[in-house]
Structure 1
Amino acid sequence: MTAPAATLPTVSRGVRLGYGLGSFCTATFGAVPGLLLLYYMTNFLAVPAWLAGVVVTAPKVWDLVINPLVGRWSDRTVSRMGPRRPWMLAGAATLPITFFLVFAGPPLTGTPAALYVGACFLAAATAYALFEVPYKTMPAEMTGDYHERTSLLQWRMIFIGAATAISGIAAPALVNSDGPNGTLDSYRLMAVVIAVVLAASMFGSFFGTARAPMTGAPQPDNGGLRAQFAAARSNPAFVWLLVLSCTQQLAVAMMLAAAPYFAAYTIGDPRATTTLFAALVGPMLLTMPLWVRLSKRFDKRGAMILAALMFSGGTAAALATPIFGGWYAHVAILLVGTGIAGVQLLQFSMLADVIAVDAATTGKRRAGVFTGLWTAIESGVSAFGALVFGTILTIGGFISSEPDTPVAQPDSAVTAVLIGQTAVPALIILLSVLMTLKYRLTVPTPVAGSASDAPA
């Protein structure tokens, strides 16, 4: 039997562009705090490293509660704008402001500064959830055609890659615009520019999806949060994939948090944060077609193992940076970026497999439940990476400071930076390789014309 002929697209190019714009919010809010917030607190607000790690982590753990709640609220919303877009508008109106306040740099230091940043970051995480959760739900409701939905998500991935490159390179460059170490004023400038980018992408997506077709929304989950977690626990493939993804995301988050320290204390040039990030993101934009081919040749699990080994190998190789210098670090990070590209692409593809098989075997549409939980837990793990790295700094005796009173770090702190950027993430990624060997998903024989008839 053959698959049915492809249908004409039902989502216009303008709507695709409008939807894709929203991914600038996704990538920017994920990259900039992960890259700069911990360093900003320890080196500009004199917040102890362990406390700064808690501040970065706590608001993101809040996502475990707020993300599923926003998903349920939007499912039940009835308005002339549809169920999702009112919540997107609420997020667009609040996230740019709260993001700026995180880096506003009030005249506070130590614990008071940590409390201020923590409160603002909690508000920003809430505003982000208002936009992001409904935004991620929209592709399933704009078209019922599997291939067209994949096309929509490809646009999203392209925008995410571009936005990650722009924000990850531009934000550190703005921070260093007043000197190699940055100033509170340069952080405020960065916050203003990124807030404008957030506003433009979020409002652009809100207005750009005004004419998006709606083929029907998932049924509301009336069972509450406990029922949502029960649905996830009942799917072993989802559980293994989620744990695998969180392990990999933990390593990525640690490396993002460590990057400014690695540039400043290992390479000896804080401005190297920008070029290191470029070396990381460049392969992510260029090697996606390669990973698609490898996944077809070696199966997705085999390609995931290869990608993770490249990720781990490049990270471990960066341990030799003190011997060979900054150029060597950039070469190692290029290898890391190539591995991360494969890891991220295959995570999304394997998640699509899990959702498709769940729908085929249970007869229930639970894509929103799985995606909402995935997003919430992954967000919390991302923040936990900063906490782990902050703890490593504390164990190494890292001394927090203010810009006007720089301190010389002890050798143990410099070593802690190197280990936290290289050895620990490399071991975590090796652990994910073992988890990948445990991941088993038997896709049922596809029925012609069904969603499973299409490749993930």
Structure 2
Amino acid sequence: MNNANHQAPVLRHGVVAGFGSGALGVSLGAGVIPLLFLFYLTEFAKVPPAVAGILLALPKLTDLVLDPVIGRRTDQWARRSGSRSHLIAIGTVALPIVLVLLFVPMSGLPLPLRVCVLGILLIIQAVLLTVFAVAHTAIVSDLADDTTGRTRLMSARALGQTIAGLAVSVAAPQLASAFHTYEGGYLGMAAVLAVAAFMACALCLVMVRRVPMRAGATTERAQPLLPALRATLRNRAFYCIVAILILLGASTTALFSALPFANKHLLHGAPEQLSILLTPVFLALLVGVTVAPWLTARLRTQTLLGAALILALAGVIWFTSGPRVHASLVAGGIVFGFAVGVLTVLISTLAIEAATRMQGAGESLGLYLGILFSAEKLGQSLGGIVMGFGLDWVGRLDAPLAAANSAALGRLAWLYTGVPTAALLAAILVLFPLATRLHKDAS
């Protein structure tokens, strides 16, 4: 089936809002897992902490392997039905159900069976999230033909994700507290979030249903996976964007992973100060994703991408090594958050543009997006892994000897600044070959 001749529908405000609602819904359903599930596993599901850590890492490891395969398959499934909205419908129904099942009390089951069931549910959730994310992102190319329209849609997607992150951070603990009389309130919390996630995703489905598949449907040729992956290597611009995405994810994850330690040992702040430090970052991120379409319409892509990376670098340095007073920390966080917001929209848009340019050569847009989501998770994992080994190198921060403690604090300060900064510097270096490729493609 070839739907390449279909014209994209007019990009109405309702379509943009509905598209963003899909990202809001899926993030409402998935965002509570990294936030509270480890605590739930150890305190209520009675899973040993080491096993709980492995359980949470399992979906990310399977994602790295499966995402390109799932991404490619989504194009084949969507081609048969003629629209990607059917895949969005599957996630709309199934993801809230899996969320509730994850918090169903299982402490009465034998530990091996309990771990097996939870592991299977986490992997199912990860697969469903990838199917939804690939279909939801790829439908951008079915909804909009130009960079301006796609940027509006990707801005709405990033806005929905950010609002959901803020909402889950604030509401999930309060919901658990409100339902505390039964299993700590986590099943009630999951049920409320599942209903909210279903309603938001259903709104998205209403707005994008019947949108015909256009991008990624130009060929019926089905290559084996490895040759198809090798074929994507010709798309140098796409892989430059992937490298920047990995480095940005590593920088952000490393910064947020080290922040609790820096707050306690370098800033001498109470645990609640973390909220004070992070709130301006997320609010600035919201502003960044909101104004990204306006900036994209007025600045050259290479100029905006370079400026945002440099601004993110300046924000990281300001936040981590500037004056350790509240006003300076908030200012640095705002600069960093704004830049990351713009980059989130811009990188997603550029990836879609680079991938859709190759569809005429018979390459799968879904495969490209599977690679992209794999890269996003790889960046997050790398940031956490590097910071974990780095904290081992830092040593004991509560050592009894003043000299030992001072040396450890110095290593922590270097790690806190050095890893996020080095990752962003590397991303800026990748920008040079990317700018060359973008200029060549434009000409």
Same fold (TM over 0.5): yes
Task: Check conservation: 1:74, 1:83, Cα contact below 8 A.
Answer: no
Q: Distance in 2 between matches of 1:140 and 1:33?
A: 30
Q: Which string of whole-angstrom CA distances, capped at 9 and with x for unpartnered residues, describes residues 128-152 of structure 1? A: 1232211111111233344333333
Q: Which string of whole-angstrom CA distances, capped at 9 and with x for unpartnered residues, describes residues 75-132 of structure 1? A: 2236896332222222222211222333445327997565554332212112212322
Amino acid at match of 1:428: V
State the partner residue of 1:364: 361
Instruction: Provide TM-score, normalisation by structure 2.
Output: 0.74
Provide closer, same or farther for how the CA distance between residues 429 and 270 of structure 1 changes in structure 2, counting only shifts above 3 A.
closer
Amino acid at match of 1:191: A
Equivalent residue of 1:18, what SS? Answer: helix
Q: Distance in 1 between matches of 2:123 and 2:9?
A: 40
State the partner residue of 2:429: 437
Task: Check conservation: 2:21, 2:160, Cα contact below 8 A.
Answer: yes
Equivalent residue of 1:22, what SS? Answer: helix
What is the deviation of 1:174? 3.6
Q: Which moved more, 1:200-209 or 1:381-390?
A: 381-390
Query: For 1:335, which of 322, 332, 336 is the aligned residue?
Result: 332
Amino acid at match of 1:303: A
What is the deviation of 1:285? 1.4
Equivalent residue of 2:139, what SS? Answer: helix
State the partner residue of 2:3: none
What is the percent sequence identity of the aligned residues? Answer: 22
Q: Which string of whole-angstrom CA distances, capped at 9 and with x for unpartnered residues, describes residues 154-176 of structure 1? A: 33233233223222332244456
Q: Distance in 2 between matches of 1:391 and 1:273?
A: 23
Q: Distance in 2 between matches of 1:295 and 1:245?
A: 21
State the partner residue of 1:185: 184
Note the aligned Cα RMSD (angstroms): 4.7
Amino acid at match of 1:238: F
Task: Check conservation: 1:140, 1:149, Cα contact below 8 A.
Answer: yes
Q: Distance in 2 between matches of 1:36 and 1:267?
A: 25
Provide closer, same or farther for how the CA distance between residues 72 and 250 of structure 1 changes in structure 2, counting only shifts above 3 A.
same
What is the deviation of 1:283? 0.8
Matched, 1:376 2:367: no
**How many residue pairs were aligned?**
422
Matched, 1:306 2:304: no
Q: Distance in 2 between matches of 1:26 and 1:127?
A: 10
Provide closer, same or farther for how the CA distance between residues 237 and 12 of structure 1 changes in structure 2, counting only shifts above 3 A.
closer
Task: Check conservation: 1:42, 1:48, Cα contact below 8 A.
Answer: yes
Amino acid at match of 1:372: G
Instruction: Provide TM-score, normalisation by structure 1.
Output: 0.73
Equivalent residue of 1:346, what SS? Answer: helix
What is the deviation of 1:51? 4.3
What is the deviation of 1:342? 1.5
Provide closer, same or farther for how the CA distance between residues 188 and 225 of structure 1 changes in structure 2, counting only shifts above 3 A.
same
Provide closer, same or farther for how the CA distance between residues 344 and 365 of structure 1 changes in structure 2, counting only shifts above 3 A.
farther
Amino acid at match of 1:371: L
Task: Check conservation: 1:257, 1:389, Cα contact below 8 A.
Answer: yes
Task: Check conservation: 2:288, 2:342, Cα contact below 8 A.
Answer: no
What is the deviation of 1:24? 0.8
Please show how residues 44-443 of structure 1 align to structure 2 within 5 Å: 51-77=51-77, 82-104=82-104, 106-107=106-107, 115-175=116-176, 185-212=184-211, 214-215=213-214, 217-219=216-218, 222-254=222-254, 274-288=275-289, 289=291, 292=295, 299-317=303-321, 328=326, 332=329, 335-346=332-343, 348-350=345-347, 352-353=349-350, 356=353, 364=361, 366=363, 367-383=365-381, 385=383, 424=415, 426-435=417-426, 436-439=428-431, 440=433, 441-443=435-437
Task: Check conservation: 1:169, 1:274, Cα contact below 8 A.
Answer: no
Provide closer, same or farther for how the CA distance between residues 410 and 156 of structure 1 changes in structure 2, counting only shifts above 3 A.
same
Q: Which runs of 5+ in 2 are unaligned?
A: 1-6
Q: Distance in 2 between matches of 1:236 and 1:428?
A: 26
Q: Which string of whole-angstrom CA distances, capped at 9 and with x for unpartnered residues, describes residues 228-258 of structure 1? A: 4323433444334323322321343355567
Provide closer, same or farther for how the CA distance between residues 277 and 168 of structure 1 changes in structure 2, counting only shifts above 3 A.
farther
Q: Distance in 2 between matches of 1:267 and 1:392?
A: 20
Amino acid at match of 2:164: A
